[in-house]
Structure 1
Amino acid sequence: MDFLLQVKIGALIGLLLLTLFFGFIPARVKCFRDTHGTDNHRTVLSLISCFAGGVFLAACFLDIIPDYLSDIKAELDARSVETSFPLAEFIMAAGFFMVLILERVVLNCREMRGTREERAPLVPDDRNGHGHGTGPDLEGSGHHVHVDFQAHSPFRSFMLFLSLSLHSVFEGLAIGLQNTDAKVLEICIAILVHKSIIVFSLSVKLVQSAVRPLWVAAYIGVFALMSPIGIAIGISVMEARLAAGALIQAVLEGLAAGTFVYITFLEILPHELNSPGKQLLKVLFILLGFSVMAGLTLWD
């Protein structure tokens, strides 16, 4: 086994173990799981969630989308594809609408199975169904009846997990395709720092979405495996390159980017910014999360 392969295998193991470590911190620490504590406790959890939102916002604009646009442009140029139609942006939009349609189908099926009680008032209306003035304020109740009615839903958390996992495969692929040990180490260190923050933020979102602990563990475990799988695929591709492999990767990156745009702007940020209290502080923590990721990107 040559030294380059040893370095890649070491990177594979390091990414797996550190991702598991940082991912299980929110899942195992009780304060992250308790969403019914004191006002101060809920404020702290909200600010952590805002920080995670800033992290995902930066990952969207500074990492996932630029990587995708660069890869798809390189592939189109290599294949001499010239068109005035914004093909790269269209693929991203397809990813966006794919999640939007899928989510609406899932929610519609839930309603057809008789789950409308999620949006019913705590006190039922009168016989004529016009008792609008006697029931409690649903905005303040535990029922999701306002604009953010599906905030932190397990479905959206799953889609967030899916898009991040797909991107992680491509990150690992970048390591596996390198042909010098120095470049492998350089990319691996950058991904380690980047992915540790991402998986911590993802774990916070899963915990706050009322996902069962066993499923949280499964999500984190699978997510931790994604980059190592990408490294393994990259090592294999070095031996036998597919003619259309890079183009397929670029298209999948575009779909993942569109998915990430949807989750960032329709799930993560609206949930915190639409909830009352500490608005300026929340914005500051979103900026803090964004700045941390921007700094890491600049350093990279």
Structure 2
Amino acid sequence: MSRRANPNSPSPRRGHAPEPVPSGLISTKEHRMFCEFADTVRSSRYIGLCYGPPGVGKTLSAEDYARWPEQRPFVEMPHPIVDWFHRGANRSDWHTLLYTPLVNTPPGRALTELTVMSNRHAMLRARHIEDPRRETNLHGASSYTELVIIDEAERLTTRALEQVRDFYDRSALGLILIGMPGIEKRLARYPQLYSRIGFVHHYRTLTIEELTTVLSTAFAHLGLASPDATEAIAAIARTTAGNFRLVNRLLNQAERILKLNNLDLVTAEVIDAARDALVIGTS
């Protein structure tokens, strides 16, 4: 289904670009809609809001759009651990920064981290440009940063949100806030912020048609027989309700059960056994 960058993996050596990390992300309709949403916010330079239940794929889509598994070591690791100026790091599709604040991040920390990331991004991109745009506004992003995506934005306090708005006002970029359902109601209480929101995207769960496509792709990747039986597909749909992350967890358990029993076909019984090995909420 998907593969995230390993946070414990070793940092790239100085003078060497990190090897590309394949996202393994299946291009669903929701993912394509998110990319169109991000493109619009980036080109129009306004604030976008994306919300949806946990596990539907919001973070995965943001990471894929920002090419974050490949870009992150250069932007988040301090010099001299990483050579910002490596030729292989000058990528035209590295136009977006992804920031995930800590729980209860103080306003000053969010502003500082966003500014530092943007400055490193500018140093990274300016190496092989004939007319380098190194200037930055006071506490603002460099002109190389076209879009900033803030994941789990509900972690930001009211003062931190105000600092983020100020950072946005001082920078010529687009800004996307990603959060859980209800964040749109919270932001509606802050006129200076919601008046700048130009696009709201509701990230939804997979439909049964897309779930079937995702399952076919995932099982082909695992080298297993395709779950043609409608009972198996119905069992997966019933268990996951189209939640992308839960589908991934369920398939991991199903693969384990298939190996233990030397099977190569997913059935409703296998899915039920896999479900018993998980903790599944009701939301």
**TM-score if structure 1 supplies the norm length?**
0.26
Q: Which has the higher relative contact order, 1 or 2, with Cα contacts under 8 A spaced 6 or more apart?
A: 1
**TM-score if structure 2 supplies the norm length?**
0.27
Considering fraction of residues, name the structure with more strand. Answer: 2
